[in-house]
């Protein structure tokens, strides 16, 4: 089964949710049903199944399936927590349409279509930024958001078009290849709000509720990053051009984004800002992978992205549940929250474990591999220690949790289910009353589930490492090469690199795309768009 049913369900469900956007319950119900249907459709998708649509082959990959399944589960959790704790209008529609865009972006063998699809998901997220209640700053924030997405899209499209030219002789033009690499990195940095392009995201943290922050900043950015990483892997890394200066610039920005993002998250007192700067710091890892331009970085960064998307979504859901329970989002107003909400305390611990990890944990090792591929020895240690800085803000939040109980926490909701609910019995007519009385515990329970999912992915569960090695479909040029103009300079042979350590075999023959590490010695891409068996 190809990915077409997934595409149809997500886009159709998103359109319906958008049409009924004024009826919050209806939109939520549509989203829940569509997300469940998406999960069912993903369960019957077989990696390797391909469908030609409009001249482009859309290929289901193991990685795309895992990414979409995790996105769907995260979206389902966010929707349920939103129904319990309140969510911005259009979040259900944006979630579904974003998933639809991710489906096309991760399955398209044409990089330009993939970039366009990722951009579509990002533009839809602007609807969430503009959701009521609107304050004076909402329009300014949304305008910044729109500009950032538009410019990132334009840069990424130009670079993708340049790299997809029919001649395909990027190796013969090292300067152009360097510019293309810089353009790709700039697009990722802008869209992911890496420091110094983080201004719009800092504003989003104020306007958008914590629950929706990952949907607005992270989800679309991670899809675009995956597409761009795939493009860099298949079009730039194979050329063998050293691109030392360009890579040094990208690595410098990546290290800066990582360290400064972690520091900013530690210094802020507002949960929305802490979450946002944690996401900003994550951009550093993607930039490091792009700057490494090394076969040893591709699979680890894809694995790390799987964990990050789920972990940050769980963190946003946790912050939303805390706000719903205690009506506060500043740490100084949240004294003693952990004693009042032990479920959420356990969830925060799980989220911290999934974020930071320890040696041997899949996501920890993947992050270390990316850093090691991008940096030399003394800097590697500094950056690796910097990545542990995430412990700092989690410790601050935990410290507030065991501190003196604040007024907001003392007057907050109970974390435990209420049963029996006064005046209600087990009848369908009383369901809404029971739901209203237990919204806090339901939100906490779903947060715990999301945190558990984050730990599972961080530990390498759900086939993440194997899927990350398989990667995404190899890009093929969308235009037919002109027979009259043939490349006159043969590309340089690929750089010899240490192969990706594979503890488990790649997906089997018919069900896989060509693995990331393998390179066609001729430097050309397969124009047929067909998938080939993994070794």
Partner 1 sequence: MSPALAVIGVAVLAGAVVAVAAHEGRPAILGLILALIAAPLVAAPLPPVLPLTARLVAAILVGYVLWIAMRSAPAHGRTRGSRLGWPVEALVAGAAATVGFGLGGAGAGGNPEAMSVGLALTALAIPPLVRGDALQVGIGTALLVTAVEVLRVGLAGPASPLEHLAASAVLAAIGAAVALLVDASIATGGSLEVADRRPGGARPADEGVEPVRPWYRPRLRR
Least separation, in Å, of the C-beta of 182 and partner 1? 17
Q: For partner 1, which is the closer residue by CB, 150 or 398?
A: 150
Least Å distance, CB 448 to partner 1, is: 28
What residue ranges bind partner 1 (CB under 8 A)?
18, 53-56, 97, 104, 108, 110, 112-113, 116-117, 119-120, 123-124, 126-127, 130, 134-143, 146-147, 150-151, 153-154, 157-158, 160-162, 164-167, 202-203, 206-207, 264, 267-270, 273, 330, 332, 477-482, 485
Cβ closer to partner 1: 58 or 78?
58
Residue placing its CB nearer to partner 1 in the complex, 410 or 479: 479
Q: Are 232 and 184 in contact (CB under 8 A)?
A: yes
337 exposed, middle or buried (CB, 10 Å; 0-12, 13-18, 19+)?
Answer: buried
Contacts of 117 (CB under 8 A, 6+ apart): 101, 102, 104, 105, 108, 223
Nearer CB in complex with partner 1: 135/498: 135
Residue 80 in tokens: 């349920």
Query: Toward partner 1, which CB reaches closer, 112 or 295?
Result: 112
- Give yes or no for a contact between 94 and 124, defined as CB atoms under 8 angstroms apart: yes
For the bound state, the minimum distance from the C-beta of residue 89 to partner 1, rounded and expressed in Å, comes to 10
Q: Which is nearer to partner 1, 263 or 442 (CB)?
A: 263
Shortest distance (Å) from residue 254 CB to partner 1: 23
Q: Determine how many CB atoms are found less than 10 A away from the CB of residue 332.
A: 12
Distances, alpha carbon 325 to alpha carbons 207, 269, 343, 420, 442, in Å: 20, 18, 12, 20, 11
Q: Considering the complex, state which of residue 151 and residue 398 has its C-beta at the smaller distance from partner 1.
A: 151
Residue 133 preceded by cis peptide, ω within 30? yes
Q: How far is CA 249 from CA 173, 185, 240, 424, in A?
A: 19, 10, 18, 63
Q: Which residues contact 290 (CB under 8 A, 6 or more apart)?
A: 181, 184, 185, 188, 228, 229, 232, 250, 254
Alpha carbons 80 and 444: distance in angstroms, whole number: 11
- Smaller CB separation from partner 1, 46 or 165: 165
In the complex, least distance from residue 485 CB atom to partner 1, rounded to whole angstroms: 4
Query: Residue 58 corresponds to which tokens in the numbers above?
Result: 């859309």
Q: How far is the CB of 453 from partner 1 (least distance, A)?
A: 29
Nearer CB in complex with partner 1: 87/117: 117
Q: Residue 523 carries which DSSP code? A: -
* Minimum CB distance to partner 1, residue 21 (Å): 10
- What lies within 8 Å, CB to CB, of 427 at 6+ separation is none
Residue 129 tokens read as: 């930024």
- At residue 198's C-alpha, the angle toward residues 196 and 204, to 5°, is 170
Closest contact distance (angstroms) between CB of 144 and partner 1 is 8
The CB-of-317 to partner 1 minimum distance in angstroms stands at 21
């Amino acid at each position: 089964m190809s990915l077409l049913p997934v595409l149809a369900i997500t886009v159709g469900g998103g359109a319906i949710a958008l049409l009924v956007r004024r009826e919050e319950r209806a939109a939520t119900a549509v989203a829940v049903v569509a997300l469940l249907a998406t999960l069912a459709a993903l369960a019957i998708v077989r990696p390797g199944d391909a469908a030609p649509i409009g001249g482009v082959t859309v290929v289901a990959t193991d990685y795309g399936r895992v990414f979409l399944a995790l996105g769907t589960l995260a979206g389902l959790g966010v929707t349920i927590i939103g129904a319990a704790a309140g969510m911005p209008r259009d979040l259900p529609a944006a979630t579904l349409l974003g998933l639809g865009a991710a489906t096309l972006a991760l399955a398209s063998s044409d990089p330009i279509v993939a970039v366009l699809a990722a951009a579509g998901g990002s533009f839809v997220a602007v609807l969430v930024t503009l959701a009521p209640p609107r304050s004076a700053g909402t329009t300014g924030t949304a305008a910044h958001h729109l500009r950032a997405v538009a410019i990132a899209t334009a840069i990424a499209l130009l670079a993708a078009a340049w790299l997809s030219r029919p001649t395909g002789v990027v190796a013969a033009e090292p300067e152009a290849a360097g510019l293309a690499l810089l353009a790709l990195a700039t697009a990722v940095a802008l869209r992911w709000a890496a420091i110094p392009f983080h201004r719009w995201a800092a504003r989003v943290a104020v306007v958008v509720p914590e629950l929706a922050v990952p949907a607005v900043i992270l989800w679309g950015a991670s899809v675009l990053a995956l597409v761009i990483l795939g493009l860099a892997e298949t079009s730039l890394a194979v050329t063998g051009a050293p691109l030392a200066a360009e890579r040094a610039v990208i690595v410098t920005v990546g290290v800066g984004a990582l360290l400064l993002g972690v520091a900013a998250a530690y210094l802020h007192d507002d949960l929305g800002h802490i979450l946002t700067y944690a996401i900003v710091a994550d951009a550093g890892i993607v930039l490091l992978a792009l700057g490494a331009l090394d076969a040893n970085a591709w699979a680890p960064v894809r694995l790390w992205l799987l964990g990050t998307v789920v972990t940050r979504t769980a963190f946003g859901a946790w912050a939303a549940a805390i706000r719903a329970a205690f009506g506060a989002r500043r740490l100084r107003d949240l004294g003693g929250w952990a004693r009042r909400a032990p479920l959420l305390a356990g969830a925060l611990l799980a989220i911290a474990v999934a974020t930071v990890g320890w040696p041997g944990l899949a996501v920890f090792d993947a992050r270390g591999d990316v850093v090691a591929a991008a940096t030399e020895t003394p800097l590697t240690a500094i950056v690796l220690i910097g990545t542990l800085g995430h412990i700092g803000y989690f410790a601050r939040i935990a410290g507030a949790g065991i501190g003196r109980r604040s007024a907001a926490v003392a007057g907050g909701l109970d974390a435990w289910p209420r049963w029996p609910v006064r005046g209600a019995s087990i009848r369908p007519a009383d369901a809404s009353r029971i739901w209203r009385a237990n919204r806090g515990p339901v939100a906490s329970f779903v947060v715990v589930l999301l945190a558990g999912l984050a730990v599972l992915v961080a530990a390498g569960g759900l086939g993440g490492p194997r899927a990350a090695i398989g990667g995404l479909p190899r890009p093929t040029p969308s235009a037919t090469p002109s027979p009259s103009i043939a490349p006159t300079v043969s590309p340089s042979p690929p750089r010899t690199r240490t192969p990706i350590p594979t503890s488990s075999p790649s997906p089997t023959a018919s069900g896989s795309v060509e693995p990331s590490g393998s390179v066609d010695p001729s430097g050309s891409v397969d124009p047929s768009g067909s998938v080939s068996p993994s070794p």
